A and B are shown apart, each in its own frame.
Chain A
Amino acid sequence: MNKEQILEIISRNIGEVLPDLEGYQAKPSDKLVDLGANSVDRAEIVMMTMEELSLNIPRVELFGVSNIGELAEVIYEKLQ
């Protein structure tokens, strides 16, 4: 799985949690909060993505990511 595919999954989950953004292609520089995701939405999007990738990592390891690109990056690292 490459980073683009991870970004793809994150985009799809954004569309699921925020139906107004269905079909939206997230850019690495996008911030979830700027897309209208509140704290619960953000937790949902991250959890759905991890579930899809069967990646059960402590949430603390995701602290500090500032945009979707960085999120995809951390997830990519963990999958290696």
Chain B
Amino acid sequence: MKNYNNIIISGIGITSSIGQGKKAFTQALMEGRHRFDIMKRPGRQNGTSFIGAEIDEITYPDSISKKVLRTASFSAKTAMVTLDEAWKEAKLDDCDSSRIGLVVGGSNIQQREQLLIHDKYKDRFGFISPTYGLSFMDSDICGLCTEHFGIKGMSYTLGGASASGQAAIIQGLQSILSGQIDVCIVIGALMDLSYWECQAFRSLGAMGSDAYADEPEKACRPFDENHDGFIYGEACGAVVIERADTASKRKVEPYAQLLGWSTVLDGNRNPNPSYEGELSTIKKAMEKANLEPHEVDYVNPHGSGSKIGDETELKAICDSGLSHAYINATKSITGHGLSSAGTIEIIATMLQMKEGKLHPTINLDNPINTSLNWVKLKPVSYEAKTAINISIGFGGINTAICLRKI
């Protein structure tokens, strides 16, 4: 078996609609406790009633100054607090800062924040806050985080639509394999949608309709016969990636080893999925991981809740020989974090492995494909050891990562 230098994940941070921190997040996942409702954050409605899952309240550590909190965007503040959790767990204070890098997954993620600023200064154009010249760029998150944590290796943002979070992990591990850095923190950044993007997603047929306006808790139903599009959910995840030997020097217990990964493009600008692309990315990731399909015991799919997306993905999973493996849909509880989804779901996978339990798929009353090994409405006690995570993004992006519990 080819050993890709034993790349592992040594730290996790998470801030989501279902809880801040790993403990709260895991508990809510297992209980299937969600926060889907008509969204209330300013800039999310415009005579509309878009459904989504919003973060309740965030507790910031004292180390993040009031000055930073005043000018950082919601996405940036969430990134900082999430990174803080992962940083401490991986004991990165004991690491040479010039060997630490940061990849922020997501592009054009601060739309709501920009809408609010444009509205505020609409009639006072000349007085726009000078800080906006920094904050409108997603890379401000890199600036804020690297300043606060003293990261000196490298940092940039990486966009791959809804596959951003997973594409960023792949980029992070490649930057370690190339020798550029020893430790890479990857943030799946919070995509802060405004009502403009919600409306366009709905017009595209991607976002769920008004069908569940009176029962928002039933709107998010990946893989169920009554699914009708994705339901947005605010979330930010952070993982610390490094080689096993560097983590062991700091006496940090890793969660999982990254065994194999792949990116496959469809050469397609549009939002429609591709069976061939998904099948190919799953097979390539397993091949790189040197895994036979029967060795994979858990699948964490993209599972957005889109009709054609769900059908295409399940066909690709079945045809990859994975129908025996347990499968659930994290987005059924968290909603779709878009830029952050790939990171959130890798985190959900590792936390389920650690817990020895698989979370339920809420609203999965009637799966569109009954030949798979679903975790339906109740959690299942199961020690998943080897898993595959799948992400799919608009513009023909397919990614997959195989991981093994340590």
Contacts and interface: CB of A to CB of B under 8 A. Distances in A.
B62 to A, nearest CB: 13
Residue in B70, B130, B131 with the greatest tally of chain A CB atoms within 10 Å? B130
B130 A51 contact: no
Interface string A43-62: 11001001100001000000
Interface stretch (A2-10, A17-25, A27-35, A64-72): A17-25
Contacts of A51: 124, 127
A40 interface: yes
A47 B70 contact: no
A5 B355 CA distance: 61
B65 A47 contact: no
A59 to B, nearest CB: 10
Contact of B130 (A16, A19, A20, A44): A44
Interface residues of B, number: 12
Contact of A56 (B71, B126, B129, B131): B126
Interface residues of A, number: 12
A16 to B, nearest CB: 8
Nearest to B70: A19
Contacts of B67: 17-20
B73 to A, nearest CB: 15
Contacts of A44: 71, 129-131
Interface in B46-84: 65-67, 70-71
Contact of A43 (B66, B70, B124, B130): B130
Contacts of A47: 127, 129-130
Nearest to A52: B127
A50 B127 CA distance: 8
Contacts of A18: 67
Contacts of B65: 19
B126 A19 contact: no
Given A40-B131, A47-B130, A19 B66 contact: yes
8 contacts: A19-B66, A19-B67, A40-B134, A44-B71, A44-B131, A47-B127, A51-B127, A56-B127
